[in-house]
Amino acid sequence: MNYRNPELRDKLAAEYVLGTLHGRARARFERLMQQDRQLRDDVADWQTRMMPLADSLAPIKPRGRVWRDIRSSLGFDTVSRRSFLFWRNLGVFSSAAAILMAVYISTASLHTSAHDYIAIIADKHAKPIWLFSSNDTVISIKSLVPSTVIAGRSLELWLLPDGGQPVSLGLLPLNGNKTRLLPHAVAKLMANSHALAVSLEPAGGSPTGQPTGPILYQAPMAASA
Amino acid sequence: MTQSPDADAVLAHLLTRCALKDQAAFAQLYKLTASKLMAVSLRILQRRDWAEDVLQESFVNIWHHAQDYQVQKAAPLTWMTHIVRNRALDWLRRPQHETALDEEEMENRWADPAAGLFEQLSRVREGAALEECMRQIEAKNRQAIVLAFWQGLTHSELAQHMQQPVGTIKAWIRRGLAVIKKCFEVTHELS
């Protein structure tokens, strides 16, 4: 079948949303959709047209067991234990980190003004990988251990403002240091942010301005002033 | 979808937080949307226990795929509804479930679902546009589309149910969808 024909593509998108595309044709279409942004847009347009049909239904409350089953099948209860362990481990390594930070701040402050915000991005064993610091005008990222990323991908750093959408802080260096100017609009968000995240993105960064790939790391951010 | 732009923004934000594995955001998302999505699941499956199983699978799916949600295209609830419908239709097509409904249930499932739903469409924002477009479709074409949407019937099941050749059913659906598309284009040009 010639999937380049725009009319055929639109017809398939419509039948996919309607539900009449079946079996192997449906599976093939879903695979195509993953690689084809235009096709995803066509599907989204059809969803927007047809979904009011679904919305005219009166809401029906599911029984309480549904939410309990969702939580347990996602392992939330064990995850929260794991995250407790993460923070406990963080406590063990934090004295080392504190020394590292103190040394870093004292040497850095010889050259520049004091940094206002600091974060250490660590792996799941609480081993520090990047040191992030920023003041009102500059972001500085230091790679503490060389990292690798699969070909054709980049690691992107995000600021997570409280109650807002993630804001890109640019790509992470895989080794060495990187310093860049902090846009004024982003600098203003720093005061309301307490965390950073790192996502895996296509080379050069997210095409949408929001994280598109899996989140690989998260780190709390502290004001150092 | 029919949410106000504010509600859309809240759901979009919660989905973004879910992509960052924020469990509290996920709990909030469930609270806000579970009843609406349960209605969709139950409408297709007609059995509460199946509908709840599908709802559970769907939310697990939403948690794992929250990062795929593209804020600039379909509204959040539209995207989530699509996931639930997909799961429910897959569930219906699993062989063991096709035989699980007895004759009477089958009759009920195949009762014309267009009946009550059309009247309700106009109550929802944007539903009015779809209702207007649906009215422009010939009745038999419309029935085929609504049956496919809600009952997840295949072309050949539709053919059997409506007592028409498969080719005719395909043509009816194609024509109906073409009318909807054209109608929406005109509506958008006017607005």
Where do the domains of chain B lie?
1-102, 110-191
And the tokens for B95? Answer: 């062989």
Q: What is the mean pLDDT of residues B78-105?
A: 72
Mean of pLDDT over chain A: 80
Where do the domains of chain A lie?
6-55, 91-223
A59 CB neighbour count, 10 Å cutoff: 12
Q: What was the pLDDT predicted at B40?
A: 92
Contact by Cβ (8 Å): B28, B57: no
Task: Compute the distance between CA of residue A89 and CA of residue A78 in angstroms, rounded to an integer.
Answer: 16
Asked whether the beta carbons of residue A67 and residue B152 sit closer than 8 angstroms, the reply is no
Residue A120 reports pLDDT greater than 80: yes
- Give the Å distances, CA to CA, from B65 to B4, B19, B69, B112, B127: 24, 7, 7, 34, 27
Nearest CA in chain B to A77: B23
In the CATH scheme, what is the code of domain B1-102? 1.10.1740.10
Task: Compute the distance between CA of residue B172 and CA of residue A153 in angstroms, rounded to an integer.
Answer: 46
Contact by Cβ (8 Å): A155, A206: no
Coil, strand or helix at A219: strand
And the tokens for B131? Answer: 């209702």
Residue A80 reports pLDDT greater than 60: no
Asked whether the beta carbons of residue A215 and residue B16 sit closer than 8 angstroms, the reply is no
Identify the DSSP state of A123: -
Give the closest of B55, B59, B123 to A56, CB-based.
B123
Q: Which residues of A, range 195-214, sit inside 8 Å of B by Cβ?
A: 197, 199, 208, 210-214
Which range, A22-36, B39-53, B126-140, has the best average confidence (pLDDT)?
B39-53
Residue B31 reports pLDDT greater than 90: yes
- HSE (side-chain half, CA atoms, 13 Å) at A14: 19
Asked whether the beta carbons of residue B67 and residue A66 sit closer than 8 angstroms, the reply is no
Q: What was the pLDDT predicted at A100?
A: 58
Residue A164 pLDDT level (bands cut at 50, 70, 90): confident
Nearest CA in chain B to A69: B56
Measure in Å the smallest separation between the Cα of A109 and chain B Cα atoms: 33
A65 CB neighbour count, 10 Å cutoff: 10
Nearest CA in chain B to A159: B20
- Give the Å distances, CA to CA, from B128 to A29, A163, B124, B132, B186: 30, 33, 7, 6, 14
Residue A184 pLDDT level (bands cut at 50, 70, 90): confident
Nearest CA in chain B to A199: B20
Range in A28-37, B34-43, B92-101, B143-152 the model is least confident about:
B92-101
Task: List helix spans (H) across chain A.
Answer: 6-18, 23-35, 37-50, 52-55, 64-73, 76-111, 184-190
Q: What was the pLDDT predicted at B71?
A: 62
Mean of pLDDT over chain B: 79
Q: What is the mean pLDDT of residues B48-69?
A: 92
How is chain B classified by DSSP, letter by letter? --S-HHHHHHHHHHHHHHHTT-HHHHHHHHHHHHHHHHHHHHHHH--HHHHHHHHHHHHHHHHHHGGG--TTSS-HHHHHHHHHHHHHHHHHHSHHHHTTS-HHHHHHHTS-THHHHHHHHTTSTTHHHHHHHHHTS-HHHHHHHHHHHHH---HHHHHHHHTS-HHHHHHHHHHHHHHHHHHHHHHHHH-
Looking only at the bridges linking them, the beta strands covering A128-134 and A117-122 are: antiparallel
Give the closest of B56, B155, B184 to A69, CB-based.
B56
Contact by Cβ (8 Å): B2, B15: no
Domain A91-223: state its class. mainly beta
Assess B113–A contact: CB distance below 8 Å, yes or no: no
Task: Compute the distance between CA of residue B180 and CA of residue A44 in angstroms, rounded to an integer.
Answer: 15
Residue A13 reports pLDDT greater than 90: yes
And the tokens for A153? Answer: 């991908």
- Taking only the tens place, the pLDDT of each residue in B150-185 is 877 888 888 998 899 999 999 999 999 998 888 877
Contact by Cβ (8 Å): A180, A134: no
In the CATH scheme, what is the code of domain B110-191? 1.10.10.10
Task: Compute the distance between CA of residue A189 and CA of residue A137 in angstroms, rounded to an integer.
Answer: 12
Q: Which residues of B, range 29-48, sit inside 8 Å of A by Cβ?
A: 30, 34-36, 38-40, 42-43
ipTM of the complex: 0.76
Which range, A48-62, B94-108, B127-141, has the best average confidence (pLDDT)?
A48-62
- Give the Å distances, CA to CA, from A202 to A101, A194, A207: 32, 26, 8
Task: Look at phi and psi of residue A36 and say left if phi exceeds 0, alpha if psi is from -120 to 50, else beta.
Answer: beta
Residue B99 pLDDT level (bands cut at 50, 70, 90): very low
- HSE (side-chain half, CA atoms, 13 Å) at A65: 6
Assess B88–A contact: CB distance below 8 Å, yes or no: no
Q: What is the mean pLDDT of residues A155-163?
A: 89
Measure in Å the smallest separation between the Cα of A68 and chain B Cα atoms: 9
Residues of B in contact with A58 (CB under 8 A): 39
Q: What was the pLDDT predicted at A14?
A: 93
Range in A158-167, B29-38, B168-177 the model is least confident about:
A158-167
Assess A80–B contact: CB distance below 8 Å, yes or no: yes
Measure in Å the smallest separation between the Cα of A214 and chain B Cα atoms: 7
Residues of B in contact with A202 (CB under 8 A): none
Asked whether the beta carbons of residue A20 and residue B155 sit closer than 8 angstroms, the reply is yes
